[in-house]
């Protein structure tokens, strides 16, 4: 089942999310719903607060093109345990900030630890787009958006556009 994606500004997108204690069927269903919502958008990552659930859960799939098999990843309580000194700049976007893009600099490689959908501990080192995406999604769990890395003026400009967009959508 697809879920509605919250649009910035929304207080739920600024909250520190709670760790997941018990991975049961409800949370697995939420993860499936989030994957469906993400693929439909389409996007390459989605965090639980973006669908209004303030728990530490993200989903992502950064496989590009149609020739490679999809790789849906579900991460409960993900955390970065090591980051490279080397950085990378990617033009980022966000499903909660539609049609707005900006360059963000982040570590080029990160080692991430998380619990999978069966509650098993997983560790993997990500690079390239995967590294950017997983860091962007984990930021969401701490109430942080990619526009928080931008200069205040640029951030305010984007926020004003989003306020306008939300008003327009509310009128329909």
Which is nearer to Zn ion, 41 or 81 (by Cβ)? 41
Of residues 23 and 97, the one with the C-beta less far from Zn ion = 97
By C-alpha distance, which of 139, 15, 12, 145 is closest to 79? 139
Q: Quick one: which of 94, 104, 110, 141 contacts Zn ion (CB under 5 A)?
A: 94
Least gap, CB of 109 to Zn ion (angstroms): 20
DSSP letter for each residue of 22-91:
---HHHHHHHHHHHHHHHHTT-SEEEGGGGT--BSEEEE----SSSSPP--EEEEEEEEEEE-SSEEEEE
Residue 2 or 21: which CB sits closer to Zn ion?
2
Is residue 38 a contact point for Zn ion (CB under 5 A)? no
Residue 124 annotated as catalytic:
no
Minimum distance from CB of 94 to Zn ion (Å)? 3
Q: Do 2 and 36 contact (CB within 8 A), yes or no?
A: yes
> Which among 151, 108, 157, 131 is positioned nearest to 8, based on CA atoms?
157
Min CB(8)–Zn ion separation in Å: 9
Cβ contact 43:61 at 8 Å? no
Number of residues that bind Zn ion (CB under 5 A): 1
Per CB under 5 A, the segment of 80-88, 91-99, 117-125, 147-155 that binds Zn ion is 91-99
**Binding region for Zn ion (CB under 5 A) out of 14-22, 67-75, 86-94, 126-134:** 86-94
Q: Which residue is nearest to Zn ion (CB)?
A: 94
Among residues 92, 111, 113, 137, the one annotated as catalytic is 137
Minimum CB–partner distance for residue 98 and Zn ion (Å):
11
Nearest to 97 by CA among 28, 161, 48: 161
* Catalytically annotated residues: 137
- List residues binding Zn ion (CB under 5 A): 94
């Amino acid at each position: 089942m697809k879920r509605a994606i919250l649009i910035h500004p929304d207080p739920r997108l600024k909250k520190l999310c709670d760790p997941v204690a018990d991975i049961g069927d409800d949370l697995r269903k939420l993860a499936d719903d989030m994957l469906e919502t993400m693929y439909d958008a389409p996007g390459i990552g989605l965090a639980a607060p973006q669908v209004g659930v303030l728990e530490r859960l993200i989903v992502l799939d950064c496989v590009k093109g149609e020739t490679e098999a999809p790789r849906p990843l579900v991460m409960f309580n993900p955390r970065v345990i090591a980051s490279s000194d080397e950085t990378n700049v990617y033009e980022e976007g966000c499903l909660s900030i539609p049609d707005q893009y900006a360059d963000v600099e982040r570590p080029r490689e990160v080692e991430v630890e998380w619990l999978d959908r069966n509650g098993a501990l997983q560790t993997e080192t990500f690079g390239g787009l995967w590294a950017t995406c997983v860091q962007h999604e984990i930021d969401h769990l701490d109430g942080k958006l990619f526009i928080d890395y931008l200069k205040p003026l640029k951030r305010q400009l984007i926020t004003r556009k989003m306020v306008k967009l939300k008003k327009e959508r509310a009128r329909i």
